[in-house]
Amino acid sequence: MPNFMEIAFQEAEKAAKRGEVPVGAVLVSASGEVLAQAGNETEAAHDPTAHAEMLVIRAAAKKAGSARLGECDLYVTLEPCAMCAAAISFARLRRVTFAAYDLKGGAVEHGPRFFTQPTCHHAPEIVGGVEEQRAASLLKNFFEERR
């Protein structure tokens, strides 16, 4: 079975080369099929919602012909923000595996802790910190180059 987090990192690296914040995501079916993969596209698309997670959820839902992706797993290089956490909940994703924690903008283990709120209708299984240092270094280097 492919290393899905590696695919997410490849997407993050491509995003960085395009001048996007280096976040990559991949959405995988229960059988291990990659349904969608993407890196951030907020700058190129002039769209603040074009986060990697949103892009793969949209593409996979379209491919599946359903807004519900209950047997699917998301791999992403950064802890999802509140917008992405809401989309993950609405899509009913089974599991979210992320690399770096985001103390400032994260909404899973930090900030609003979206999936623990009483208004959250579906909370996926969460696995955080997978290859955390690699993702943190990628982000740190990206922002240092822009200062």
CA 75 to chain centre: 6
CA 6 to chain centre: 13
Assess whether 79 carries a catalytic annotation.
no
H helix runs in the chain, sequence order: 4-17, 42-45, 52-64, 82-91, 132-145
Task: Provide the residue count of the chain.
Answer: 147
The label of the residue with tokens 């999802």 reads 80
Q: List the one residue out of 94, 23, 96 whose CA is nearest residue 55.
A: 23
> Whole-angstrom Cα distance, residue 137 to residue 111?
22
Phi, psi of 25 (to 5 degrees): -145, 155
Q: List the one residue out of 53, 119, 63 whose CA is nearest residue 88.
A: 53
Q: Which of 20, 53, 79, 131 is catalytic?
A: 53
Active-site residues: which are they?
53
